[in-house]
Structure 1
Amino acid sequence: MPNQSTNGPSGRPKPECDPIKDEKMGLMREVGGQAVWSLSSCKPGFGVDQLRDNCLETYWQSDGPQPHLVNIQFRRKTTIQDVCIYADYKLDESYTPNRISVRAGNHFHDLQEVELMDLSEPNGWVVIPLKDSNDSPIRAFLIQIAVLSNHQNGRDTHIRQIKVHSPVQNSIVSVLDFPINFTTVQMAQHSTIR
């Protein structure tokens, strides 16, 4: 069942998140740069470049009927842990998303909704975790973010930044991780590091 609010499991608001800080600390890996991005519509000068420029002063502005879509296509099947959206109700008012649907699939014809989130006057990063039925990060070729409605029944939308994260995997394997059961003297000499 998709998530329906910005509150955590206990009903309390989720803690503040700073994806850029978490990326620098190595807690998450931003994979949006590996994808091809497209929009359902945009005003000239307010498109994908502004959505991905790491500047909170710029934004994507849609220019067409709802739902407003952001399509993120990967060249290979990618593990996605979450999508982070920066929205600012104080600056954007009726342009601020109110309800967002995140869909995933292999192509445009098999997209399924993974999360449905209602936002109440967001001011900062909104983290949308993407989990499958086993509570694991999803794997997909395509992620679609659909803005279904805006605050104050606004027509067009502003989203200031979007980040897509994959889980960080520790790929360093230590020699000590393997049991050492050598039976010959020649092999036993390799059991310690000099």
Structure 2
Amino acid sequence: MPSLPNQTCDDFMSSLIEIGDLASWSLSSAKPGNGIQQLRDNNSSTFWQSDGQSPHTITLRFPKKTKVSVIDLYLAYKIDESYTPQIISIRSGNQESDLEELKEMQLTEPDGWVRIPLSPREIADNFFKDAM
């Protein structure tokens, strides 16, 4: 199994780069004015709001296999309690039909940035092409 370079956690986190622009994004549904643009605009007062039945999904498709180390989400339960996720599932695969769950997180009234680090094993064993 490949391993990560020997570095401290701080060194590792400071070496991360934003790769969201490399992906094609899609949503399970969205209310008008609360879609991908609002999800990705770096403005904490705008947000994605689903307009359909569960499960609510955000799907990223990368043009080639891509290593993902950390996923950061900004969640504001106090502002949007009925739509704030309680469970986050991270999945990867070569296409939507073969996605495998890498990690599931239970959230309780999250308020602010939620960091979802993938373990060295998850990083080494799974490169993302389609991710959900």
Which category of TM-score, normalised to the shorter sequence, fits these structures? 0.7 to 0.9
Separation (CA, whole Å) in 2 of partners of 1:28 and 1:62 = 29
| 1:102 aligned residue | 90
Separation (CA, whole Å) in 1 of partners of 2:99 and 2:19 = 20
Residue 43 of structure 1 pairs with residue 64 of structure 2:
no
Separation (CA, whole Å) in 2 of partners of 1:97 and 1:65 = 13
| 1:188 aligned residue | none
**Which of the residues 92, 95, 102 maps onto 2:80?**
92
CA radius of gyration, larger in:
1
Residue 68 of structure 1 pairs with residue 56 of structure 2:
yes
Q: Which runs of 5+ in 2 are unaligned?
A: 1-9
Contact 1:131/1:138 (<8 A) preserved: no
Equivalences, count: 121
Give 2:118's aligned amino acid: L
Instruction: Calculate percent identity across the aligned residue pairs.
Output: 47
Q: How far did residue 136 of structure 1 move?
A: 3.6
TM-score (norm 1): 0.58
TM-score (norm 2): 0.84
Separation (CA, whole Å) in 2 of partners of 1:135 and 1:54 = 26
Give 1:36's aligned amino acid: S
Separation (CA, whole Å) in 1 of partners of 2:15 and 2:43 = 21
Q: Which runs of 5+ in 1 are unaligned?
A: 1-21, 145-194
Contact 1:131/1:137 (<8 A) preserved: no
| 2:42 aligned residue | 54
**Which of the residues 102, 109, 112 maps onto 1:114?**
102
Q: How far did residue 118 of structure 1 move?
A: 0.3
